[in-house]
Structure 1
Amino acid sequence: MSAPHPAAVLIGPPGAGKSTVAAAIAEQTGWTHIDTDTLIVAQEGLPISDIFVEQGEAAFRRIEAGVVRDALTAHDGVLSLGGGAPMHPDTAALLDGHVVIFLDVDVSEAARRVGLNTARPLLAINPRAQLNALLKQRRPRYEELATFTIDTSGREPQEIAAEILTRLEDRS
């Protein structure tokens, strides 16, 4: 018997709706949902922003890569990854062979969703400009890894989840 694999892995920039859409998929299917940022906070006992400040981004990315590796091996529901997780080469390699869904979003929608008072470490200063820069930097990797892409701009989580489930069903 093979090891379990997530039914779907959601990737995308901050504000794309990864955690919210994953929860909607779980609600519609009965699958479990795991968010790797939540796992990191539980494992480290610190908020992600504190890990960034106290240990640096490189240390955070190493921690994140380990958490993603473990979740990809052990979880069989829907998995949402932090926005920067796919940028780590080890994580990108681990995603090969999985159903990876890139949740895309335009910058203005993402900025509205994350808000301007954010605890997200990479968006602390000038969130709109940082989101724009992150999208430009990360989009090629997201597209490269994606089994398919869903635009979440102006859409409700339940609608996005239903589209994802239809696309997953069409693949089987």
Structure 2
Amino acid sequence: MSGGPEVVLVGPMGVGKSTVGELLAERLGCAFRDTDGDIVTAQGRTIADIFVDEGEAHFRALEKAAVAAAIAEHEGVLALGGGAILDADTRALLAGHHVVYLSMDVEEAAKRTGLNAARPLLAVNPRKQWRELMDARRHLYTEVARVVVATDGRTPDEVAQAVLDALELKQA
């Protein structure tokens, strides 16, 4: 694999992409980058505020650009926002990379995120909306992923180790 991120983490909101990504970067001796963080920094406001002020389509355009830039520039561990894989061009950019789909079931999602209102796509009936989001996205996560690592009942350390093992990557 030439250039680009060492590992790309995809999966639903609250699955632990940032937490696991930081642990992986530490173990691999490289930098961690989160495209949601890039967007918040560039826009100077939260993702929830972008959704409310300009809508999902505007956010997705920002996200597509942030992901393309990160894949081109970043050589460490990269975490993508939960919906980044909805874009066909983004999925194409992920081809050939070590993409890991971190999965979890709805009960685990409820425990971790509280399925709270700070998540703009889950504002009304959180469990039902989470299930519907996953039904719409699961096949896309699977399509782009080289490996799937279940996070249910595992600590972030255990998940990070499972990712390293699955990709057969050596710690720094």
TM-score range normalised by the length of the shorter chain: over 0.9
Contiguous gaps of at least 5 residues in structure 1: none
* 1:118-139 Cα distance to aligned partner (Å, 9 max, x none): 3111012221111111111100
Q: Structure 1 counterpart of 2:97, which letter? A: H
Q: Write the distance in 2 (CA, Å) between the matches of 1:146 and 1:14.
A: 16
Deviation at 1:54, TM superposition (A): 1.0
Q: TM-score, normalised on structure 2?
A: 0.93
Q: Which moved more, 1:108-117 or 1:64-73?
A: 108-117
Q: Which runs of 4+ in 1 moved over 6 A?
A: none
Counterpart for residue 30 of structure 1: 29
Deviation at 1:104, TM superposition (A): 0.7
Contact 1:14 1:131 in 2 (8 A): no
* Secondary structure in structure 1 of the residue aligned to 2:168: helix
Counterpart for residue 140 of structure 1: 139
Aligned length: 170
Q: Structure 2 counterpart of 1:163, which letter? A: A
User: Is 1:48 equivalent to 2:47 in the alignment?
Assistant: yes
Counterpart for residue 66 of structure 2: 67
Counterpart for residue 98 of structure 1: 97
Deviation at 1:3, TM superposition (A): 6.6
* 1:67-90 Cα distance to aligned partner (Å, 9 max, x none): 000000110110000000001122
Q: Which moved more, 1:159-168 or 1:146-155?
A: 159-168
1:161-172 matches, within 5 Å, as 161-169=160-168
Deviation at 1:24, TM superposition (A): 1.3
Q: 1:143 to 1:28 in 2, by over 3 A?
A: same
Q: Write the distance in 2 (CA, Å) between the matches of 1:36 and 1:114.
A: 19
Give me the identity figure in percent.
50
* Secondary structure in structure 2 of the residue aligned to 1:103: strand
* Secondary structure in structure 2 of the residue aligned to 1:98: coil
Contiguous gaps of at least 5 residues in structure 2: none
Deviation at 1:144, TM superposition (A): 0.8
Deviation at 1:170, TM superposition (A): 6.2
RMSD of aligned residue pairs (Cα, Å): 1.6
Q: TM-score, normalised on structure 1?
A: 0.93
Q: Structure 2 counterpart of 1:10, which letter? A: L
Deviation at 1:48, TM superposition (A): 0.3
Q: Which moved more, 1:56-65 or 1:21-30?
A: 21-30
* 1:86-108 Cα distance to aligned partner (Å, 9 max, x none): 01122111111111100010111
Q: Write the distance in 1 (CA, Å) between the matches of 2:149 and 2:27.
A: 18
Q: Write the distance in 1 (CA, Å) between the matches of 2:132 and 2:121.
A: 10
Counterpart for residue 13 of structure 1: 12
